[in-house]
Structure 1
């Protein structure tokens, strides 16, 4: 028996808004409705007065506009209004982006593949035109500035044409639907209070909309019955979805797969040969679409730069990359604003010192090239987790500083450059947090480069430079985070809430916290302790936003508890009954560092002779539960505060365990 594609699975349905209260005519004509039946406007025109309500059909539900949903642009063209009216009156089972798609559906998620075979069914899950335009504006304001792949004018045209075609009965291609769902998912994910107010929705409802649009986009891409054919739009769509999902830890496992899929599709389209001499001659002879050419370059370099940056980050991919620079010939995208690009135009580019909407994208490419060069040099030590040669570290450090000295003034963060670029920020306000995110990544990796020599710099003058660089870069990261919050508030966006940013802040906080612990009596130590504790409490409050951050904090708490138990036992001289059992199981992987003496504490209270760490089965699960019950009585910040008091008693192995906890796997959303 043929199944009916009349509903969406309940797990795909989320409330994204409240139902409209005015009648259909008043919403369409944008007239004031007194909510009677019939209302004066309908009575005057002698037309039926229809309201959307619980008994309305799915076709009627989609026509409902939010009471507060108004176009963000100052003026709206006649063609846009006609598209809005036509689309609102077209049928749909999925309602508005903030509404329950269908109350009566009992279909399970396993039936989704059957639904996806019906392109018409899936297209009905798109929001109405007016709301689609607002979601597109939100995406362009918050995600596009640090993404840069989309050509904004042509994307707007594509969205408008898609909705116009749907109003005339045509169905969009799978690639276009993935692109639209990805854009709308991104807009929902970073919805600001202002956007929620416009849609009369809650943060939870926005989260639900993100989940719905995301799962639809993924399902279309993964559909084995009707795969998405290669095209420039398909590449844009996959890259956009990967970019959006990289902000959400729950989908982090999907991001590498999407990027690998995009790389394979780009190669199948021969984009890696885009600017060979033969292809350039062919374009000159046959003509070309400049917008499509530039978008293909953006897509390729976005994939390449992400691949190379990921290779020098604390992630499972560290030490290796997929794309060899000798295996492609693609020019960098032009340094021009999107408004300068036209399909029939000719190629040209401003000098790097001229700020444009592509400046950040090009900066990222050069930064990625630096990361690749570092991996080429440090690859063996990164793969083996060995300490690199210190002279090599100093050489790479010089590369970093040469790179940062070579960037345009508007992308620097020194006081003189900031003052000089004030006028530029008025024209390109997004440059403020583009610049901040870029330097966040730069200083985290500079700190990462020197961290293996951080502790040695305390006692060995040869490594003092590394310790100083670690501390300076960590402080810079925290300062940049504060400025990012300020920039986000002024721009009505929230880039400072991205999981990537908080991961960077965690790394910097751990570096500073351990350094303060090593110097508990240094000049100004009390002030620095308080600064560190303030950041730790901020991270503790933010951990629910990022599963990766929550896991890192829990791991760090385990190590802190283990060290505190061991220090208390050694200080009292009387082993507690659970002294040999309070070490967390996760420590077994980190406890391979050999102690510096033949008889030291393991960090969990057990004395180890000849540098041998007790086996995992020596740690009792019941006593670990006791430790966690004690952890529940104290906050993470309180544990660090306690550690500051016992820091002078800590041994080399305990410091190594604690420092290894700062190796939080980093995502690579922007840099």
Structure 2
């Protein structure tokens, strides 16, 4: 008789569904470490969306991420507003294509499937966050009040980041996911400045763009044989998206901060033609190879200027950004400044600052409205602030080396141009973009201009009446925003403290109302009267030839302003310790 065999019962399956399907080790937690490290977590999509279809309900982990999909009417309204008000600031998508995809998203009978549509959902949420943030400055009836618009914008921005991260980790990269990351970079700058999150978003957008081989769109082996209308639109959108990301990379390398002097996009390693100058409807009404002239008033005008500006900034990075200013051949400074100036002189007529809105509307009709006004403001602001930043290291060295007089002039001219741009577009309501300017970071540009004027006043010529008036007016602009902008309050206080340390008084209407250094220190939060000029009180208690102490300028660089002003405290440590003398 055969011996009895001990039958072993089959052990119950305890691994989670994801680990069993992929033959991974599971620690039986909810969620397990394998799912957590790969970010395989349950995602609940509201507004009729379902859970991931291949994951049984009883295996779903507890840490659910909920992503709110806005109602259909709201989503379509967001797309319309974005196209009308903000598209010309970011040419990274073809709006009719996005609108059609979003409509299809909502028309699916069982709700959109996250496995195939998460990139599009991230893009829609990013656009919604943009409009919510913009609605805090210009009322459009989307939200009940400004406070609600600000809160919803913050929530939608975080939701867009969650959806974009899920799209990045769960599927192959999509064009919509790259577009969402690019829009979030723009929004993050205006919400938090040049933060670490912004740099991570930029790196994410660049990595996904390379995953899609956008940097090789026009390589010989990448060109399709037959091109229909949809293929042409996709290729052109890919070109716009890649060049926008590449230019952002070069501009970040030019600006101060952790990424200064370092960029990842090498021109020799990309095969991408520059986009064509087209209106949105040209894809449907023109031949496949049609292109408008460079001076045509299209939504692409600022986009092309941004490319040229980024190329000049990249050349400046290669030539001098990693060297000490004294070691830079000054002929190279002249050469690069000429390229910055050429950007301004070569602007199309409708982007030039001295052409009024009535002339623009008469020459370009309906196209001469807020979209052109927005491009004009952006073009002139971006050129001026980069030129100002380029010459800033030489501004404070003018006292010890007179050959830097040209840089001082160029730096001050650019700072004054920043204030002029603000005046033109805020004083003339016919441009219809005054409430949009905060979204462009205008107040950061004003802070930068005020800082440059104060530095020149304290270092080079404390008794210059013209400069005193310019500083007073610039600080008045900052004072007007301090009630709604915490950064403005801190920056205004720092500027006034620096002026008081140098015994500099700002001119007011009469001598009895002169703002003395003591009053400046005591009334750091009080706005400066913007009245007519009077004699300023002379400085007292100062030697005629002391060693100038730059340590006062440390007050100008508190950490919450470093990113906003394109300045890095480590870079400025060397500048504020210069042995500069007042002659």
TM-score range (shorter-chain normalised) is 0.7 to 0.9
- Does residue 534 of structure 1 match 2:473? yes
Aligned counterpart for 1:190 among listed residues 107, 115, 134: 134
In 1, distance between residues paired with 2:424 and 2:366? 17
In 2, distance between residues paired with 1:287 and 1:199? 34
Q: Which residue of 2 aligns with 1:654?
A: 549
Tell me if the contact between 2:297 and 2:367 (Cα under 8 Å) persists in the aligned partners. Answer: no
Q: Which residue of 2 aligns with 1:227?
A: 170
- Does residue 468 of structure 1 match 2:358? no
In 2, distance between residues paired with 1:643 and 1:328? 60
Secondary structure of the 1:243 match is helix
Tell me if the contact between 2:49 and 2:113 (Cα under 8 Å) persists in the aligned partners. Answer: no
Tell me if the contact between 1:298 and 1:333 (Cα under 8 Å) persists in the aligned partners. Answer: yes
Q: How does 1:209-248 map to 2 (within 5 A)?
A: 209-223=152-166, 227-248=170-191
Q: How does 1:104-503 map to 2 (within 5 A)?
A: 114-116=63-65, 122=67, 125-165=68-108, 168-171=110-113, 173-191=117-135, 195=139, 198-199=141-142, 201-223=144-166, 227-249=170-192, 252-280=195-223, 282-284=224-226, 289-342=231-284, 346-381=288-323, 388-415=328-355, 419=359, 423-424=363-364, 426-429=366-369, 430-457=371-398, 461-486=402-427, 490-491=431-432, 494-498=435-439, 500-503=441-444
CA offsets, 1:291-311, max 9 Å, x none?
A: 111111111011001111122
Secondary structure of the 1:195 match is coil
Change in Cα spacing, 1:288 to 1:164, as seen in structure 2 (3 Å) is closer
Q: How does 1:570-585 map to 2 (within 5 A)?
A: none
In 1, distance between residues paired with 2:492 and 2:71? 42
CA offsets, 1:36-91, max 9 Å, x none?
A: xxxxxxxxxxxxxxxxxxxxxxx9xx9xxxxxxxxxxxxxxxxxxxxxxxxxxx65
Q: CA deviation at 1:425?
A: 6.5
Secondary structure of the 2:251 match is helix
Change in Cα spacing, 1:311 to 1:543, as seen in structure 2 (3 Å) is farther
In 2, distance between residues paired with 1:217 and 1:416? 39
Q: CA deviation at 1:268?
A: 1.5
Q: CA deviation at 1:154?
A: 1.2
Change in Cα spacing, 1:542 to 1:647, as seen in structure 2 (3 Å) is farther
Q: CA deviation at 1:184?
A: 0.7
Change in Cα spacing, 1:490 to 1:443, as seen in structure 2 (3 Å) is closer
Q: How does 1:499-514 map to 2 (within 5 A)?
A: 500-514=441-455
* Count of residues in correspondence between the two structures: 491
For structure 1, which segment, 344-353 or 651-660, has the greater mean C-alpha deviation from structure 2 after superposition?
A: 651-660
In 2, distance between residues paired with 1:371 and 1:251? 17
Tell me if the contact between 1:289 and 1:343 (Cα under 8 Å) persists in the aligned partners. Answer: no
Q: CA deviation at 1:190?
A: 0.6
CA offsets, 1:102-146, max 9 Å, x none?
A: xxxxxxxxx998323xxxx63xx2222222222222323333221
In 1, distance between residues paired with 2:287 and 2:159? 36
Change in Cα spacing, 1:492 to 1:552, as seen in structure 2 (3 Å) is closer
In 1, distance between residues paired with 2:294 and 2:81? 28
Tell me if the contact between 1:520 and 1:647 (Cα under 8 Å) persists in the aligned partners. Answer: no
Mind listing any 5+ residue stretches in structure 2 that lack a counterpart? 1-27, 31-44, 51-59, 505-517, 530-534, 567-583
TM (normalized to structure 1)? 0.64
Change in Cα spacing, 1:472 to 1:194, as seen in structure 2 (3 Å) is closer
In 2, distance between residues paired with 1:373 and 1:148? 24
For structure 1, which segment, 490-499 or 226-235, has the greater mean C-alpha deviation from structure 2 after superposition?
A: 490-499
Q: Which residue of 1 aligns with 2:456?
A: 515
Tell me if the contact between 2:489 and 2:525 (Cα under 8 Å) persists in the aligned partners. Answer: no
Q: CA deviation at 1:654?
A: 2.9
Q: CA deviation at 1:634?
A: 3.2
Tell me if the contact between 2:194 and 2:564 (Cα under 8 Å) persists in the aligned partners. Answer: no
In 1, distance between residues paired with 2:146 and 2:121? 25
Tell me if the contact between 1:503 and 1:664 (Cα under 8 Å) persists in the aligned partners. Answer: no
Q: Which residue of 2 aligns with 1:50?
A: none
Q: CA deviation at 1:323?
A: 0.7
In 2, distance between residues paired with 1:638 and 1:649? 28
CA offsets, 1:130-166, max 9 Å, x none?
A: 222222223233332211112111122122222222x
Tell me if the contact between 2:79 and 2:127 (Cα under 8 Å) persists in the aligned partners. Answer: yes
Tell me if the contact between 1:311 and 1:318 (Cα under 8 Å) persists in the aligned partners. Answer: yes
CA offsets, 1:541-563, max 9 Å, x none?
A: 43565666555555545655655
Q: CA deviation at 1:473?
A: 1.6
Tell me if the contact between 1:291 and 1:342 (Cα under 8 Å) persists in the aligned partners. Answer: no
Q: Which residue of 1 aligns with 2:3?
A: none
TM (normalized to structure 2)? 0.73
Tell me if the contact between 2:88 and 2:375 (Cα under 8 Å) persists in the aligned partners. Answer: yes
Secondary structure of the 1:320 match is coil
In 2, distance between residues paired with 1:647 and 1:324? 55
Q: How does 1:51-62 map to 2 (within 5 A)?
A: none
Q: CA deviation at 1:484?
A: 3.0
Change in Cα spacing, 1:489 to 1:134, as seen in structure 2 (3 Å) is farther
Q: How does 1:605-624 map to 2 (within 5 A)?
A: none
In 2, distance between residues paired with 1:558 and 1:521? 18
Q: CA deviation at 1:402?
A: 2.8
Alignment RMSD (CA, Å): 4.1
